[in-house]
Structure 1
Amino acid sequence: MPRWKALPDELDPQIREFASQLRRLVDRSGLSVSAVADRTGYSRTSWERYLNGRLLAPRGAVAALAEVTGTDIDHLTTMWELADRAWSRSEMRHDRTMEVRRVSRARAALGTAEEAGAGAATEAGAAGAGPREPAPDEPTDLLRDEPRDPPRHPLPAAPPVRPLAPPPAPPPGSPPAPPARAAGAPAGGRGRRRVLTALAAGVGLLLVAVAVVLLVDPGGAGDDGDGRTAPPSSRAPTTAPGTPLPAGVKCAGAGCAGRDPETMGCGGEFATTVSRARVGPARVEVRHSVTCRAAWARLTGAAPGDTVRVTAKGIGGQEALVDADGDAYTPMVAVAAADDARACATLKGGAVGCTGG
């Protein structure tokens, strides 16, 4: 049985070449994926995703692998940069495809509503227009709109129209009356109604535009399922003004709270183990990143169902569950110093142990 699974067919050639290069480095080192995970500080689950092309390894993981395998980091970083650009292009194509689908659905929904409104208006206009007069050379029998059956409830006859009496003549010497309004000129009330109708139409168009925007982009770009696309809060790292973050690091301080340390670039070369403890056959550690001003807990050598938790002074903790890989790490908590964080492990057998006693 081959050691590696076949890479996905839809992978970009640059990403495929980079993943293959990572596999060759691991093969030459003679290390297992678990050993690579233990020596680089990245979990076995993450390395399986990197080596199978499901997720692009962050720069920190690449640097850690180069150090473990004795590879020239500059050459490996160059290949990573090419793969990173290819991965970004793939994400852009995916986002454009999803945007086109959302726009198509929005247009279809709006088009259906407009057609229904136009049909109702046409029926109303036809009902209110009444029968038209036939043209001089048009057969009258084709334009008759008489009911086939006589109406069951005939309408009452309209009362006779009385002619209007002419206005009384003005007395001699009175000022002339203002000229009468021309026939067909709009009255003041009718003009106001037209203005209100135009304003209502403008408001309706504005509401339709807002609905289209919400349908096209209801909440911004989402995640692709492997954690590659960062959430909006992590794209703008929280750090001191004027202090740039190293390449590959995406958060700092409170902006890292609850985030994955590997996805945010806080692991690898930017992290150290500041304290550890043994809990039965397992080992629990506190991992701390000075660059990200955050800490997280890692549990190795455990069994599925064991849990690990990290807490910080005055801050709620983060927890993770061990899966079939036998290890796990928690999301991050923001800390001012490495000593502020504490990691605890709880095994299914009931054993509990924490760093720092």
Structure 2
Amino acid sequence: MAEHLRALKDASGFSLADLAAKTHYSRASWERWLNGKRVITPEALDRFTAVVASDRDTVRALLDSVRREAGSEDSAPVPGEGSTVAETTGPPAVDPDAPEERPETPAETPSVETPPANSAETHRRWAQGLRNGSSRLLAALLAALLAAAALVSGVAWLLVHSSPRRAQARTAATAPAQPTTEGVQCQGIGCLGKDPQQSGCDSDARTLTTANDGEVVLYVRYSSRCGAAWAKITNGSPGDTAVISTGSGERATALIHWGYDNYSPMVAAAGPDVTLRVCGSQPAGQACTSTVMSPKA
């Protein structure tokens, strides 16, 4: 079912963002349906066939067959994971495939017991309880006010008797250092050949430059905390590649094994005279980004 839907999508030339805009289902839902992670709903299938101008009865018959085999009338998850379809543009759409949130059960509100109408003794005890509760509440409020006043007085004394220089010295002595490399696992040459996501280098990554080869987009990605860079390719097809190279001869390749995008391992980009460039190769041709000089600057 998923292979048939992907074939119809590819033949139409629409991207996931196009499908989300035309059908009002989110890109995430279309990624799950087209990769076989979930069985598409009949309503979404009707919109899909209308958008891609496909034979609705034929595709609907295929869906009915899949649902009978699955033994469920719902869009249950399909075991296993398909290829990931990445889309990075366009506003998020409402995801009808997302589970509904259950409303929280309101906490029970303690009720105040009212005295019986015909019991004078019970009424007297009830009124006495209210007075005792009010007295305890008033005492608690007074204690809180006294504690707040003492705290304010202590802070005022410290402000008056502490010089600015001493305060600055204490702050400098007790403030923890904030290393610029916190959270990353490598730097510079130590990042060579490593995965940018697993190494934490994608946390501050930015795109230095891009290039297009038809619909295929090539990226030069760079992390200043790691002093490393890598290639990224999107909107491609299995077999498409993007190779990042440096002026010192380092190279790393991003190959799309399945799906539409991928990224390469990292190359070192920490020196002041580093140059970076990404070149892509597809059946339709080749393209390269402009050369980036000294990315750290």
Give the shorter-chain TM-score range: 0.3 to 0.5
TM-score (norm 2): 0.38
TM-score (norm 1): 0.32
